[in-house]
């Protein structure tokens, strides 16, 4: 059983790209990756949301103290309505420019502050190394290095982290993820794309994973 409450992010596609659910726990000032699932649909074998994403969210809710689930309603409007009626704490979280910027900043600060504990997973590693930071007028957001790459699990992780640090009634998010007092995010703490890559590589090395493994070259 995870320590603390659990926060979940959901990024779904039924025919193209991939779908992912990522859960993190928050206990005081610590965040920890506690579960994830990735599905890879195709135009000929579309994803059955009820049998996959919805079933997995119900499973997580049954065995973990899930406090909040954020899901993009683009592909999941029916699922969100169904799960909410079943008592799951799920909310619509559209991937607007503002939301995507908040998500990107949450990931970058969690990595930079070394305030999240991750477990080793080859597919998560591949997706992390396929992720780049794109600057906008509002800040940084996560994006694919190449259009063929999959980063849905990273997006779902970003949504889970956003849920964890923005829920009312919890201690100031800065203490949990940014490592600074008062909840402010210093402008100097924003990561450039090169800094993001260095942070991701350092995190992989700390897990005993070679970020230059040859199997990454053909990942898609």
Q: Which carries the bigger pLDDT value, residue 167 or residue 82?
A: 82
Q: Is the pLDDT of residue 135 over 90?
A: no
DSSP tally for the chain: helices H, then strands E: 7, 8
Among residues of the chain, what percentage have pLDDT more than 90?
31
Predicted TM-score (pTM) above 0.85: no
Question: What does the DSSP 8-state code read for residue 147?
Answer: T
Instruction: Give the model confidence (pLDDT) of 100-123 as tens digits.
Output: 888 888 887 787 777 888 888 888
Sequence-separated (6 or more) residues with CB below 8 Å from residue 128: 154, 200, 203, 204
Q: How far is CA 63 from CA 57, 66, 138, in A?
A: 10, 9, 38
Instruction: Give the model confidence (pLDDT) of 149-173 as tens digits.
Output: 677 888 899 999 999 987 544 443 3
Q: Is the pLDDT of residue 191 over 90?
A: no
For β-strands 116-117 and 90-92, DSSP reports them as unpaired
Q: Could you count the other beta carbons within 10 Å of the beta carbon of residue 153?
A: 25
Give the CATH fold of the 5-216 domain: Nucleotidyltransferase; domain 5 (3.30.420)
**Domain range summary for the chain, segments of one domain joined by +:** 5-216
Average pLDDT over residues 87-93: 95
Q: How far apart are CA 86 and CA 88, in angstroms?
A: 6
């Amino acid at each position: 059983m995870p320590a603390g409450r659990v926060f979940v992010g959901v990024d779904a596609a039924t025919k193209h790209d991939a779908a992912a659910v990522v859960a993190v726990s928050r206990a005081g000032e610590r965040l920890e990756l506690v579960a994830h699932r990735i599905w890879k649909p195709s135009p000929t074998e579309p994803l059955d949301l009820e049998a996959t994403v919805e079933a997995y969210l119900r499973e997580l809710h049954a065995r973990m103290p899930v406090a909040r689930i954020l899901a993009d309603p683009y592909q999941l409007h029916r699922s969100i309505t169904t799960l909410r009626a079943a008592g799951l704490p799920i909310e619509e979280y559209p991937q607007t420019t503002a939301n995507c910027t908040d998500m990107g900043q949450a990931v970058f600060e969690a990595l930079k502050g070394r305030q999240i504990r991750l477990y080793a997973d080859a597919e998560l590693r591949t997706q992390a190394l396929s992720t780049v930071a794109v600057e906008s007028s509002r800040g940084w957001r996560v994006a694919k290095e190449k259009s063929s790459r999959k980063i849905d699990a990273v997006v779902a992780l970003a949504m889970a982290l956003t849920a964890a640090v923005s829920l009312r009634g919890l201690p100031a998010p800065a203490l949990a993820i940014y490592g600074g007092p008062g909840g402010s995010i210093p402008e100097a703490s924003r990561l450039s794309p090169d800094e993001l890559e260095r942070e991701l590589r350092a995190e992989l090395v700390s897990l005993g994973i070679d970020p230059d493994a040859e199997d990454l070259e053909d990942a898609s």
